[in-house]
């Protein structure tokens, strides 16, 4: 079992409140991602779950048991950090088995568990190497292996891929997702990268200034954002927003439209503008368009074979069924999709 419940949890450092009031249920076996901008409190919330920080208020329940005052070792959780924190003088085998050695398991049991973890993580050929002989992705897998051998109730990942280059990030993202499918263990994963959140999570928790803005599946958050903050954070490229007369047309304080829900044409459309930058990415082109009349700027996602360049005139038409409406406080109004 590995359910985690946050019951009105808060955290204050001195006079500064980082997490004002967070309530959340993470079900056994779920892959939950905490996502939000830098400084939103996502890592602090993870450290509160781990017991690395004391809560200022509220309770943390693990499988229904009040673990609020328990130390990290008592909680049965395993944390994987952004830094690999491997012992450079130890081999991969020794690094993975170190928690078991400290727990005084016999050598045969340690070796069996190390071999099992190495098999899951494709590290069998590297057990006698030291960290300095490994790539960044391999070192991160060793850190995950060290967590696996403890057979925790849940894994807590604190931005584990931040130190890797783009290609390795993608590979490790797939490997961690596959690992979850194999182990069926609860995983809580912190990232500022909403693409990681969308591609890895069963459930996403969007945080802003320590507040839980919305919780839901990736597609729920993409299709039905609760407010303008979530709408602008989930989706890549991010949602466009327009205020003023264009919003009033839809009886809203502001409206949002995703780049993929705007059709560009050469001759006619709702809005007229001029292309500033055209980002050619192969399968897609991202157009950054300045609209006439000071209406604002829009990003438009188009097929990669569209021949466009800087300075071209263009007409843009939104899909009215995909318009999102927001009130003055930024809360989502019923939209037409």
Q: What is the DSSP string of 296-333?
A: -EEEEEEETT----TT-EEEEEE-GGG-EEE-TTSBBP
* Cα torsion angle, 107, 111, 112, 116, sign: positive
Task: Determine, yes or no, domain membership for 16.
Answer: yes
Tokens 């919330």 found at: 45
> Does 88 lie in the same domain as 191?
yes
> Does 144 lie in the same domain as 44?
yes
| pLDDT, tens digit only, all 337 positions of the chain | 689 999 999 999 988 999 999 999 999 999 999 999 988 999 999 999 999 999 999 999 999 999 999 999 899 999 998 887 899 999 999 999 999 999 899 999 999 999 999 999 989 999 999 999 998 889 989 999 999 998 899 999 999 888 888 888 888 899 999 999 999 999 999 999 989 999 999 999 999 999 999 999 999 999 999 999 999 999 999 999 999 999 999 999 999 999 999 999 998 999 999 999 999 999 999 999 999 988 999 999 999 888 888 999 999 999 999 999 999 999 999 744 4
Length of the chain: 337
pTM: 0.90
Among residues 229, 251, 272, which one ends one of the domains?
Answer: 229
Task: Determine, yes or no, domain membership for 111.
Answer: yes
Query: Which residues constitute the domain of residue 225?
Result: 4-229
Element (H, E) at 255: strand 254-257
Among residues 210, 229, 248, which one ends one of the domains?
Answer: 229
> Does 117 lie in the same domain as 11?
yes
> Is omega for the bond preceding 77 within 30 degrees of 0, making it cis?
no
């Amino acid at each position: 079992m590995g359910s985690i419940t946050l019951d009105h949890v808060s955290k204050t450092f001195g006079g500064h409140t980082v997490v004002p009031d967070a309530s959340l249920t993470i079900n056994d076996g779920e892959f939950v991602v905490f996502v939000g901008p830098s400084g939103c409190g996502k890592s602090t919330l993870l450290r509160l779950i781990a017991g690395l920080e004391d809560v200022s208020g509220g309770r943390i329940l693990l499988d229904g048991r009040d673990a609020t005052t328990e130390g990290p070792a008592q909680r049965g959780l395993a944390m994987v950090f952004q830094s690999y924190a491997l012992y450079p003088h130890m081999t991969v085998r020794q690094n993975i088995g170190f928690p078991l050695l400290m727990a005084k398991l016999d050598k045969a049991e340690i070796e069996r568990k190390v071999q099992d973890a190495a098999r899951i993580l494709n590290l069998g050929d590297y057990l006698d190497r030291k960290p300095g002989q490994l790539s960044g992705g391999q070192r991160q897998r060793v850190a995950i292996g060290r967590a696996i051998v403890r057979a925790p109730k849940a894994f807590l990942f604190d931005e584990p891929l931040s130190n890797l280059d783009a290609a390795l990030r993608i590979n490790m993202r797939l490997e961690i997702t596959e690992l979850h499918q194999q182990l069926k263990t609860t995983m809580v994963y912190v990232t500022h990268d909403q693409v990681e959140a969308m591609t890895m999570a069963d459930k996403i928790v969007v945080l802003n200034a320590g507040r839980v803005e919305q919780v839901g599946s990736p597609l729920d958050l993409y299709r039905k954002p609760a407010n303008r903050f979530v709408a602008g954070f989930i989706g890549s490229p991010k949602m466009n927003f327009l205020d003023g007369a264009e919003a009033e047309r839809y009886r809203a304080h502001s409206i949002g439209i995703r780049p993929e829900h705007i059709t560009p044409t050469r001759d006619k459309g709702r809005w007229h503008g001029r292309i500033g930058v055209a980002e050619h990415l192969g399968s897609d082109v991202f157009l950054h368009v300045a609209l006439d009349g000071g209406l604002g700027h829009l990003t438009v996602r188009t097929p990669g074979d569209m021949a466009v360049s800087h300075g071209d005139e263009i007409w843009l038409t939104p899909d009215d069924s995909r318009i999102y409406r927001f009130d003055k406080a930024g809360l989502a109004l019923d939209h037409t999709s």
